[in-house]
Amino acid sequence: MKTLTPKQITSQERKWYVIDAQGQTLWRVAHIVANTLSGKKKVDFAPHVDNGDYVIVINADKFSVTGKKMTDKMYHRHTGYLGWLISTPLEKLLEKKPLRPLEAAVQGMLPKNKLRKPMLQRLKLFSWSEHTYAAQKPELLSL
């Protein structure tokens, strides 16, 4: 018996999908986006090959969260100096950088290897309900 492994596909064969995040929970949108970016729903999925698709998320800052996550969920970053850990709650991060929570959630769900950066580059986030990728004829991906 032989084990067949898929090869890297060309950029011509990648599909484009549009997801509307308005009213959906943060985790649910991030989960669907991460699976589409990594290509886990495809027949020829292999963890060492980047065969995912492009994803456009419209209304990326209009997601919802459950419980008290808007005030209790913290995002941490470090300045590089000793003791300078900066923690920001979700509601303040949405005011300053409205696309960052969804990007961070998707980034945490992607594999922690060299394939993460090219996968994140195929993620296009928009705060409004229109996007600039109409020429690629993206398909609507329902949640």
Query: Per-block average pLDDT, block size 10, for the chain (143 residues)?
Result: 76 88 96 96 87 96 96 96 96 97 97 96 96 96 87
Which of 127, 121, 111 shows the shortest CA–CA distance to 58?
A: 127
Buried/exposed 44-60: b ≥16 CB within 10 Å, e otherwise = eeeeebbbbbbbbbbbb
Residue 82's CB is within 10 A of a number of other CB atoms, namely: 7
Q: Quick one: pLDDT at residue 1?
A: 81
Tokens describing residue 97: 């950088």
Q: Quick one: pLDDT at residue 65?
A: 96
CA of residue 1 relative to chain centroid, distance: 37
Q: Quick one: pLDDT at residue 2?
A: 86
- What is the domain partition of the chain in residue ranges? 15-65+97-140
- Per CATH, the number for 15-65+97-140 is 3.90.1180.10
Pairing of strands 85-89, 74-78: antiparallel
Q: How far is CA 132 from CA 31, 34, 63, 78, 128, in A?
A: 24, 21, 21, 34, 11
Question: From CA 114, how far away is CA 116, in angstroms rounded?
Answer: 6
Which of 63, 79, 55 shows the shortest CA–CA distance to 133?
A: 55
